[in-house]
Amino acid sequence: MSTIAQKKGFGATLWDYLTTVDHKKIAHLYLIAGGFFFLVGGLEALFIRIQLLKPNNDFVSAGFFNEILTMHGTTMIFLAAMPLVFAFMNAIMPLQIGARDVAFPFLNALGFWLFLFGGIFLNLSWFMGGAPDAGWTSYASLSITSEGHGIDFYALGLQIAGLGTLIGGINFLVTIINMRAPGMTYMRMPMFTWTTFIVSALILFAFPPLTVGLFLMTFDRMFGANFFDAAMGGNTIIWEHFFWIFGHPEVYILILPAFGIFSEIFAIFSRKRLFGYSSMVFATVLIGFLGFMVWAHHMFTTGLGPIANSIFAVATMAIAVPTGIKIFNWLFTMWGGSIRFTTPMLWAIAFIPSFIMGGVTGVMLGSASQDYQYHDTYFVVAHFHYVIVGGVVFALFAGAHLYWPKMFGTMLNEFLGKITFVLFFVGFHMTFFIQHFLGLWGMPRRVFTYLPGQGFETSNVISSIGAFLMAAGVIVLLVNVVITSVKNEKVGNDPWEDGRTLEWALPSPPPYYNFKQLPLVRGLDAYWLEKMDGKKGMTPAEPIGDIHMPNNSFIPFTISLGLFIAAFGAMFHGDEGNTWGVPVLIFGLLFTLGSMFVRSIKDDHGYHIPKKELLDDKDLGGKA
Amino acid sequence: MKRLAKWRLVSLFALVSLILSACSGQPHLSTLQPAGEVAQKQYDLMVLSTVIMLAVMAVVAVIFVVVLVKFRRKDDKIPKQVEGNHALEIIWTVIPILLILIISVPTVVSIFKFADVDAMERKNEDGTVDATVVNVRASLYWWEFEYPNEGIVTSQELVVPTDEKVYFNLIASDVKHSFWIPAVGGKMDNNTENVNKFWLEFDSEHVDPNELFQGRCAELCGPSHALMDFKAKALPRAEYDQWVSDMKNVEEAEVATTDLAQQGQEIFNQSCIGCHAVTPSNGTPAEARLAPNLTNFGERSIIAGYLENNEENLKDWLKDPETFKPGNKMTDTYGKLTPEQLDALTAYLMGLKVQD
């Protein structure tokens, strides 16, 4: 398939990607879109660090700084980290369980286009009167009084993007429950698949509160509904609860797949089975469960009272236990192993100390009476960047290097990869370690400037230099991607040579139907077991037969486009003298509903790849 | 042996304290230089948890280094595939649970201690309250401090007695803010819909008469959030009482003494008094007080919460508040001031003093 794709013209390739329902191509889309937003968010981070380089700096104005910090947080969480995690889930999870695609390929595409249109909508705010400026948490009292349309962009954009995420989560859940290959029991699933599974369940329960909260906020701002207006009997604390009941699990939605990716890496490059697999699964489930029990630790200073604070404090600290279990399991996976220091492994090894730093400050923050000091200071900023960058972003870089051959059929340059690693790793610790102390010394977070003479100057300079080192690391990675794509040296099934799970039994990239014959799974690390038995590939679980495939469809794009258009109408219709708002809103919604109607009445049974075509290909895995 | 272990622990604590104090920030500002009971307890908890966490990290670090040194790939052998180890897994589940419990107990005890504000309500037989209570009202971007038991109001510079608990009622008038005096104790939010209560204590031994405690807003509240600072002045009980009675003595707006200041007062009474009160006992309901009370402005150390209080800064501020606090509510509420008017206003405002 890939060779055919190369012969296609640009237009045909574009059309292919606009209509694709193939999980591997959707993964590419997520990777490209998420990567783009990651660069945008990174640029915003650099603006923040330039502004804070010296006291009383006037690189950006106070109001603009608030827009930048809001968009940095929102972009990085919703538009960069989530889709990049989704990219790997899409690319790898179906292969790991031995499936030909996800359960609902159409919905998979719909989820992506909703996310993309939501993200574009949110970022258009920069060019249409100003971005949201109430922080990524968008606390109600500030956000409902915020002037202009910034917060509307936030509420509507995240609503659309969040819908896509929810659809994606449900899709993965159904896929993992229903589409595992013969023999792939739950307790034989690779760790990354397990984390995908738990994360999808978290998405299912965490996103509805966000949806509700965003709707209430939209109603408040567009129709004066007063849900959050204290003067009218509303309550802003409710927003904090809505947001964090979503927001805390969201953190685990990001970090658990990171744990999954690292679990794969430690096993592969130590040539050893994951230590304590069942306790890893248990710990993952427990983290997911506890993740819903601790949201109020973001609100210790809100005034919930000592009983609530105590309960949430102890529950929060309890999360350290399953997380600790994981850390030790990883260490003992390497213990007695045969460690090879590839780029993904370097990220994984660096992740352990970095993430522990974030973990221990997490316990300190969880201890509520200390948190009264840390809350809303740079200490918190340092903490969550240690877990999100030191955990999630490290995992994304590691995953990019690890799975690049599986996704694109060619290896990223190891030397450049290691340069990226060194630059980013050093820059990361330089940027954020010192911020713990800035917080303790009395620097609140989200400040556009600070006054001279408080002892903050040197530390902020160090922090800003670190940020530029990270940026340099990312640029090297981009160069690496370009060089690799131009060279395009194809690799075989198992380019790291020590692949353990099913995806490494397939060609790189896999054929569009993944498995010519569904594999028979005989245990954990299915492919490794076969290799150890001296076999070249998986034992098939079925004879070669016709393969049923879904047709490509442009409808996911049009459904999402309709909502995108409708959002503009919804947002501007309340402006003075606006006449086009309502018609545009109606047109957009009709466009979406019409697309859904077409999808419903049009019979689309997909097509079959005839058995004959499959038999022509000698390679057992499929044709590459 | 036991003794040795104890000494090790003590020296570890000492080391952590040393590290924390070596880079401990500025005395009137940093949480690492606690100047009150609340901050001290929080600091002690920080040290305790830091010690425990360093111990955990040390264990991990040892395993980590051994692994990386000992188990590098040397040959092409396939290592033994180990499933797990129950004994080890139980150890690293139980020990963290114990460590968490060690932190949990003092945490919960202090949560309840910090939330104990019963004394605020405890009334004597004659209906008076012994506790020092301050109502803190946060507005974009300034702080009002009302002493309900004394019937006085001041702004921007909090005055409190040392070595006793001072109780706070916190509320916000527009958007959410958060009240924080880092050196004295952790913060609490000023919500828009409910009053939060907590207490702080200011140690006399840490009071530096030349450097007031730095207070600030810790919750993003708009463009000038970063500049929503205030000062806290802690006085020995006797001096505090004196300040209170001096404030109480101001029953009517003081009449300016010099000609220039009198001109200034006229301007003030035309343009400013609609929002700014100059008597400490103003009868305006709290919600309707639109701007900082200026009764003792001439004695405060700061203008607009963060600028040093001198004539030059005051004139600059009056000329164009927007450049100093973007998004503030004072900009454009009065006409352009001529240099003469600025001189007069400055003379008047600088003369607003209650302690002679």
Task: Write down the pTM of the prediction.
Answer: 0.94
Q: How far is CA B21 from CA A360, A514, B14, B36, B186, in A?
A: 20, 60, 10, 16, 18
Inform me whether the C-beta atom of residue A232 falls under 8 Å from chain B C-beta atoms: no
Inform me whether the C-beta atom of residue A211 falls under 8 Å from chain B C-beta atoms: no
Inform me whether the C-beta atom of residue A448 falls under 8 Å from chain B C-beta atoms: yes
- Residue A148's CATH number: 1.20.210.10
Cα dihedral A8, A9, A13, A18 sign: negative
Structure tokens at A333: 């996976």
pLDDT in tens, A376-399: 999 999 999 999 999 999 999 999
Contact A301 B178 (CB under 8 A): yes
Between CA A581 and CA A24, with CA A564 as vertex, the angle to 5 degrees is 175
Residue A397 included in any domain: yes
CB contact at 8 A, B131 and B119: yes
Inform me whether the C-beta atom of residue A235 falls under 8 Å from chain B C-beta atoms: yes
Comparing A339-353, B1-15, B332-346, the range with the smallest average pLDDT is: B1-15
Q: What is the ipTM of this complex?
A: 0.93
Inform me whether the C-beta atom of residue B65 falls under 8 Å from chain A C-beta atoms: no
A216 Cβ contact list (under 8 Å, min separation 6): A225, A227, A228, A239, A242
Buried b (16+ CB within 10 A) or exposed e, A47-80: bbbebbbbeeeebbebbbbbbbbbbbbbbbbbbb
Contact A373 B42 (CB under 8 A): yes
Between CA A596 and CA A602, with CA A598 as vertex, the angle to 5 degrees is 125
Residue A624 included in any domain: no
Average pLDDT over residues A390-413: 96
The dihedrals phi and psi of B140, each to the nearest 5 degrees, come to -65, 115
CATH 2.60.40.420 for the B132-356 domain, yes or no = yes
Assign A27 to helix, strand or coil.
helix
Inform me whether the C-beta atom of residue A238 falls under 8 Å from chain B C-beta atoms: no
Distance from CA of B166 to the nearest CA of A (A): 17
A354 Cβ contact list (under 8 Å, min separation 6): A386, A389, A390, A391, A394, A425, A428, A429
SS3 of chain B: the string is CHHHHHHHHHHHHHHHHHHHHHCCCCCCCCCCCCCCHHHHHHHHHHHHHHHHHHHHHHHHHHHHHHHHHHCECCCCCCCCCCCCCHHHHHHHHHHHHHHHHHHHHHHHHHHHHHCCCHHHCCECCCCCECCEEEEEEEECCEEEEEECCCCEEEECEEEEECCCEEEEEEEECCCCEEEEECCCEEEEEECCCCCEEEEEECCHHHCECCECEEEEECCCCCHHHHHCEEEEEEECHHHHHHHHHHHHHCCCCCCCCCHHHHHHHHHHHHHCCCCCCCCCCCCCCHHHCCCCCCCCHHHCCEECCCEECCHHHHHHHHHCHHHHCCCCCCCCCCCCCCHHHHHHHHHHHHCCCCCC
A-chain residues near B217 (CB < 8 A): 444
A526 falls in which pLDDT band (50, 70, 90)? Answer: very high
Distance from CA of A46 to the nearest CA of B (A): 19
What chain B residue is nearest to A55 in terms of C-alpha separation?
B226
CB pairs under 8 A between A and B: 286
Amino acid at site A618 = K
CB contact at 8 A, A165 and A203: yes
Q: How far apart are CA A250 and CA A172, in angstroms?
A: 16
CB atoms within 10 A of CB A222: 15
Torsion of the alpha carbons at A179, A182, A187 and A188, rounded to the nearest 10:
-110
Contact B224 A62 (CB under 8 A): yes
Average pLDDT over residues A209-236: 92
Contact B63 A230 (CB under 8 A): no
CB contact at 8 A, A460 and A56: no
What is the rounded radius of gyration, in angstroms, for the C-alpha atoms of chain B?
A: 27
User: Is residue A439 left, alpha or beta, with left meaning phi > 0 and alpha meaning psi from -120 to 50?
Assistant: alpha
The pLDDT value recorded for residue A32 is 97
A-chain residues near B78 (CB < 8 A): 271, 338, 532
Inform me whether the C-beta atom of residue A71 falls under 8 Å from chain B C-beta atoms: no
> Residues 169..228 of B with a Cβ closer than 8 Å to A: which?
170, 172, 174-176, 178, 180, 182-183, 185-189, 191-194, 196, 214, 216-227
**Percent of chain B scored above 90 by pLDDT?**
76
Inform me whether the C-beta atom of residue B111 falls under 8 Å from chain A C-beta atoms: yes
Assign A295 to helix, strand or coil.
helix
| Best residue of A317, A371, A462 to probe chain B, by most B CBs closer than 10 Å | A317
> Residues 525..544 of A with a Cβ closer than 8 Å to B: which?
532
| pLDDT higher than threshold 60 for residue A2 | no
Distance from CA of A250 to the nearest CA of B (A): 22
Nearest C-alpha neighbor of B207 from the set B162, B155, B244: B162
Residue with tokens 């971005």: A131
The pLDDT value recorded for residue A617 is 59
Nearest C-alpha neighbor of A441 from the set B22, B7, B120, B58: B22
CB atoms within 10 A of CB B189: 28
| pLDDT higher than threshold 50 for residue A161 | yes
| pLDDT higher than threshold 80 for residue B6 | no
| pLDDT higher than threshold 50 for residue A612 | yes
CB atoms within 10 A of CB A523: 14
Contact A325 B182 (CB under 8 A): no
| Best residue of A136, A361, A367 to probe chain B, by most B CBs closer than 10 Å | A367
Task: State CA A425 to chain mean position distance.
Answer: 20
Instruction: Give the count of domains, chain A.
Output: 1
| pLDDT higher than threshold 50 for residue A5 | no
- The CATH code of the domain at B2-114 is 1.10.287.90
Q: Which domain holds residue A223?
A: 2-545+554-615
A235 Cβ contact list (under 8 Å, min separation 6): A227, A228, B193
Inform me whether the C-beta atom of residue A20 falls under 8 Å from chain B C-beta atoms: no
> Residues 246..305 of B with a Cβ closer than 8 Å to A: which?
none
Distance from CA of A366 to the nearest CA of B (A): 9
pLDDT in tens, A547-578: 999 999 999 999 999 999 999 999 998 888 88
Q: How far apart are CA A126 and CA A130, in angstroms?
A: 5
B102 falls in which pLDDT band (50, 70, 90)? Answer: very high
| pLDDT higher than threshold 50 for residue A135 | yes
What chain A residue is nearest to B94 in terms of C-alpha separation?
A321
Across the interface, which of A141, A275, A360 has its CB nearest the CB of B84? A275
DSSP state of A607: E
Distance from CA of A257 to the nearest CA of B (A): 22
Structure tokens at B107: 């945490």
Average pLDDT over residues B29-44: 94
A620 falls in which pLDDT band (50, 70, 90)? Answer: very low
pLDDT in tens, A450-473: 999 999 999 999 999 999 999 999
**Percent of chain A scored above 90 by pLDDT?**
91
Burial class (CB in 10 A: 0-12, 13-18, 19+), B82: middle
Burial class (CB in 10 A: 0-12, 13-18, 19+), A348: buried
> What does the domain layout of chain B look like in residue ranges?
2-114, 132-356
B187 falls in which pLDDT band (50, 70, 90)? Answer: very high
Higher-confidence residue of B122 and A71: namely A71
CB contact at 8 A, B269 and B294: no
Contact A325 B223 (CB under 8 A): no
Burial class (CB in 10 A: 0-12, 13-18, 19+), B127: exposed
A624 falls in which pLDDT band (50, 70, 90)? Answer: very low
Residue A291 included in any domain: yes
The pLDDT value recorded for residue B287 is 85
Residue A236 included in any domain: yes
Measured distance between the N- and C-terminal CA atoms of chain B, rounded to whole angstroms? 65
Residue A623 included in any domain: no
Higher-confidence residue of B286 and A157: namely A157
Structure tokens at B87: 């004994």
Q: How far is CA A367 from CA A306, A362, A412, A506, B196, in A?
A: 12, 9, 43, 48, 20
Contact B100 A318 (CB under 8 A): yes
Higher-confidence residue of A420 and B6: namely A420
> Residues 355..384 of A with a Cβ closer than 8 Å to B: which?
356-357, 360, 363-364, 367-373, 375-377
Across the interface, which of A301, A336, A442 has its CB nearest the CB of B80? A336
Contact A338 B71 (CB under 8 A): yes
Structure tokens at B36: 């009150």
B102 Cβ contact list (under 8 Å, min separation 6): B48, B52
Residue A46 included in any domain: yes
CB contact at 8 A, A487 and A505: no
Q: How far apart are CA A508 and CA B226, in angstroms?
A: 52
Task: State CA B56 to chain mean position distance.
Answer: 33
B-chain residues near A290 (CB < 8 A): none
* Average confidence score pLDDT of chain A: 93
